[in-house]
Amino acid sequence: MGEFRAVTTDETVSGHPSSAYRRVRSMLAEGRCVVLDGGVATEVDQIAATGGALSDDPLWGTAALLHQPDAVQAVHRRYAAIGCDVISTNTWGLTGAQEVEREPISPTAPPTHWMDVARRGIRTAREAIELEGRTDDVALAFSINGDVDSEQRMETLRLLGRVFEEDPPDLILLETATLIREELTFPTVESLLAAGLPLWLSFRRCRHGVCGVYGQHWGGPEGDVFGRAARRFEDLGVGALLLNCLPPDHITGMLPWLRDFTDLPLGVYPNLGYFTDDGWSFDRSVGPREYAELAASWRDEGAQIIGGCCGVRPEHIAAAGERVAETVPGGGRSSTGPGIGRRKRTALAPATTAEPEPAPWIDAHGRRLFPLTFPEIVCEPGVFVPTQGSFLVWKHLFANRIGAGARCVDIGCGTGLLSVQLALNGAEHVHAIDLERRAVDNTLANAFRNGVAERVTGATVDLYPWVPQEAYDLVVASLYQMPVDPFEQPSSHRPLDFWGRNLVDHLIALLPRLLRRGGVAYVMQLSLLGQQHTQSLLEGHGFSADVVDFSFFAFSLAFEQRAEQIRRVEELSDAYHLTFGEDDVMVAYCSRSAIVRMPPEKRAASHDQADRDHRPDRGRRAAGGHPVRGPPAGRGRALHATRRAGGRRRFRVGVDRVGRLPACGRDRRRLPSGQAGRRRPGLDPGDVRRPGR
């Protein structure tokens, strides 16, 4: 590395700190709270003309300096205008220097040089500060990704010193660092200090270790490695130590713990929300007032610097700054032990009169049923909202505490309702999969909201080519089930779903590989799919099945628009639905499947069987020349129950030759083809939902 000389926080490249940084240093010495800005890249994405362009790549919004510099400057000005003491440049992604070089300003422009982008970032922020008339009041921090995991990235940071020779910032903010890598972390800090500027470090860490935006943890047990590193950072000459890029409620207890190791100024600036395919999803549950109260609680735990990371907006920072303006930082460890720091509350006077509370409604496990103990589920835009089918499976999982101690997979996770409940029931681990990435993100966020993020993982998976790499104790699935006229369906590489049961059939074919010996699958199936073919497939793959619960599922507009195809399917199979006046109602079944036999050749051939089950040319022709496949005609059965050994009752549902449910007084109406897509009274025109989540 060459000769190294430690530089204290009183020095800059000129030997003296800038006037703006001297002001920050004085505020810290006087016990006043230093206010950082909030998210820059996420805010640019909100105000730029091409909103939604933010992508989850190594640059993380830095490209906006090339394509939307006016929007970047506008964001800096907003933070300067509301009174921030420190503003950071929009240069976090520059450690991915190779990515910057591939980001031309225009198709005809020469290649972009990452050092020029760094200079532009400093110049853009400086001009914003000057335009707001706060040149001596606002310190400019050069933001850079601190997760240095290679020699190449460390070399990029060393070269920043050449950028700072012409127009230095007031300080360097090396942020969002994760693991302590002995061979990289400390040499990186030393090289940046050698640039002659004050250096602040920020890590995405809570008391459990490295922490992500959903509250998930990774990196393994470390003991007090990070605390000892904090002491070493102080000895090297670092100016402050902060926490960022983690959920706000994971900060609790971290500052008192760090104070045991270092006397450095400590600060926090968490995220609000997470990234999705549609851009940043802002946490709408935390408004400016709530964020201000969070800031006050961090101040009580000893925070001397407070700001915000991605998703935190100027209004949050303004409210927080006002809330902590006249406060002093707390200090020392919490009397309640590590990680349990709480704000003191004023005791309320006892009520003079109190009505006796009624006896609570509880279930057999002692859980309150009023109000129902339901998980906190936020449904993000573009993710299917849970319907009656998903609620049916959830009810069974909840009522019977299914999943305790098990390794589970939730197929078609949607918002994560079933994944979260399995984890709340005590599952050892739940893996949530869905075709849509935004659904997986939604599931992980909801797992965090319910305090089970450590036991829930997620992945974007296309079920058809998927080869399971693990067998599970428990499978849950609430999948899309909609009969489709193949002549109306757009061309696709997917099998034509005449019967509406492609996903269910493919899942059944995967069960031999998905389930461990003794494992169980809970699958939601609509009555529109029929029982006969499901039973045949399950038995063919070595499974027994029974119905553990059922409920009713009214046709939404989406089903009404497929009324003609539903009529065809019901004529050709044992599929059915009920009619009550003008309302069409399906029955949703929650079935339980378990392995009863599994010859070795059956397990090896399970995926070949899945392919055969979904050959689009299989089967015969329906009325009107439509190609069909799957179950043969299964009419002529009645609604009945057969009692099996041990007193278990098993239900099968069918219809008689004239298409009516016998002896029940309710017509099973065959929908005329001319009524396809006609709205029924009582249906919400906006209620276009699919079965499952």
The string of pLDDT tens digits covering residues 287-297 is 999 999 999 99
Q: Is residue 346 part of a domain?
A: no
Please check the confidence at residue 618 and state whether its pLDDT lies above 80.
Answer: no
Tokens 């000057």 belong to residue:
130
Tokens 């939404």 belong to residue:
556
More confident residue, 119 or 660: 119
Please check the confidence at residue 692 and state whether its pLDDT lies above 50.
Answer: no
Name the domain boundary from 274, 294, 324. 324
Q: Is residue 571 part of a domain?
A: yes
pLDDT at 64 (0 to 100) = 85
Together in a domain, 436 and 578: yes
Residue 327's φ and ψ, nearest 5 degrees, are -105, 165
Together in a domain, 407 and 311: no
Torsion angle of the four alpha carbons 457, 460, 462, 467, in this order, in degrees rounded to the nearest 10: -40
Which domain covers residue 217, as residue numbers? 19-324
CATH number at residue 625: 3.40.50.150
Q: Is residue 331 part of a domain?
A: no
Instruction: Label residue 257 by pLDDT band (50, 70, 90).
Output: very high
CATH number at residue 79: 3.20.20.330
Together in a domain, 167 and 278: yes
Average pLDDT over residues 80-84: 97
Name the domain boundary from 281, 301, 324. 324
Q: Is residue 683 part of a domain?
A: no
| pLDDT tens readout for residues 499-524 | 999 999 999 999 999 999 999 999 99
* d(C-alpha 620, C-alpha 114), whole Å: 63
Task: Give the chain's mean pLDDT.
Answer: 80
- Helix 417-424 and helix 388-400, axial crossing angle in degrees, nearest 10: 0
In which element (H, E) is residue 279 found? strand 279-282
Please check the confidence at residue 593 and state whether its pLDDT lies above 60.
Answer: yes
pLDDT at 359 (0 to 100) = 87
Using DSSP's 3-state secondary structure scheme, residue 627 falls into strand
* d(C-alpha 421, C-alpha 427), whole Å: 9
More confident residue, 333 or 344: 333
Together in a domain, 429 and 307: no
Q: Is residue 555 part of a domain?
A: yes
Q: How much of the chain exceeds pLDDT 70, in percent?
A: 74
pLDDT at 114 (0 to 100) = 86
| DSSP bridge pairs for 274 | 281
Q: Is residue 503 part of a domain?
A: yes
pLDDT at 26 (0 to 100) = 96
The pair of structure tokens assigned to 396 is 């069974």
| pLDDT tens readout for residues 153-162 | 899 899 999 9
pLDDT at 207 (0 to 100) = 87
Instruction: Label residue 61 by pLDDT band (50, 70, 90).
Output: confident
The pair of structure tokens assigned to 572 is 């050709």
Together in a domain, 625 and 501: yes
pLDDT at 682 (0 to 100) = 35
Together in a domain, 287 and 395: no
* d(C-alpha 684, C-alpha 428), whole Å: 40
* d(C-alpha 481, C-alpha 483), whole Å: 7
Average pLDDT over residues 126-150: 94
Instruction: Label residue 275 by pLDDT band (50, 70, 90).
Output: confident
Contact 693, 392 (CB under 8 A): no
pLDDT at 428 (0 to 100) = 97
pLDDT at 11 (0 to 100) = 47
In which element (H, E) is residue 192 found? helix 185-193
Together in a domain, 439 and 583: yes
Q: Per the structure, how many domains does the chain have? A: 2
| pLDDT tens readout for residues 647-674 | 333 333 333 333 333 333 333 434 443 3
Please check the confidence at residue 45 and state whether its pLDDT lies above 90.
Answer: no
Contact 239, 9 (CB under 8 A): yes
Together in a domain, 511 and 600: yes
Together in a domain, 293 and 394: no
Average pLDDT over residues 317-342: 69
The pair of structure tokens assigned to 156 is 């990029």
pLDDT at 621 (0 to 100) = 37
Average pLDDT over residues 74-84: 97
Instruction: Label residue 355 by pLDDT band (50, 70, 90).
Output: low
| pLDDT tens readout for residues 26-39 | 999 999 999 999 99
Please check the confidence at residue 676 and state whether its pLDDT lies above 50.
Answer: no
* d(C-alpha 206, C-alpha 247), whole Å: 9
Together in a domain, 312 and 410: no
Contact 143, 192 (CB under 8 A): no
pLDDT at 221 (0 to 100) = 63
Instruction: Label residue 219 by pLDDT band (50, 70, 90).
Output: low
pLDDT at 54 (0 to 100) = 60
Q: Is residue 604 part of a domain?
A: yes
Instruction: Label residue 368 by pLDDT band (50, 70, 90).
Output: confident
Q: Is residue 395 part of a domain?
A: yes
| Neighbour-count burial for 169-200, b at 16+ CB within 10 Å, e otherwise | bbbbbbbbbbbbbeebbebbbbbbbbbbbbbb
* d(C-alpha 9, C-alpha 631), whole Å: 76
Lowest mean pLDDT of 105-109, 205-209, 430-434, name the range. 105-109
More confident residue, 4 or 425: 425
Instruction: Label residue 278 by pLDDT band (50, 70, 90).
Output: confident
Residue 415's φ and ψ, nearest 5 degrees, are -75, -10
Please check the confidence at residue 491 and state whether its pLDDT lies above 70.
Answer: no
Together in a domain, 310 and 430: no
pLDDT at 281 (0 to 100) = 84
Together in a domain, 398 and 275: no
Please check the confidence at residue 261 and state whether its pLDDT lies above 50.
Answer: yes
pLDDT at 46 (0 to 100) = 84
Instruction: Label residue 17 by pLDDT band (50, 70, 90).
Output: confident
Residue 37's φ and ψ, nearest 5 degrees, are -75, 180
| pLDDT tens readout for residues 388-400 | 999 999 999 999 9
pLDDT at 15 (0 to 100) = 52
pLDDT at 258 (0 to 100) = 95
For residue 339, give the DSSP letter. T
Average pLDDT over residues 449-468: 92
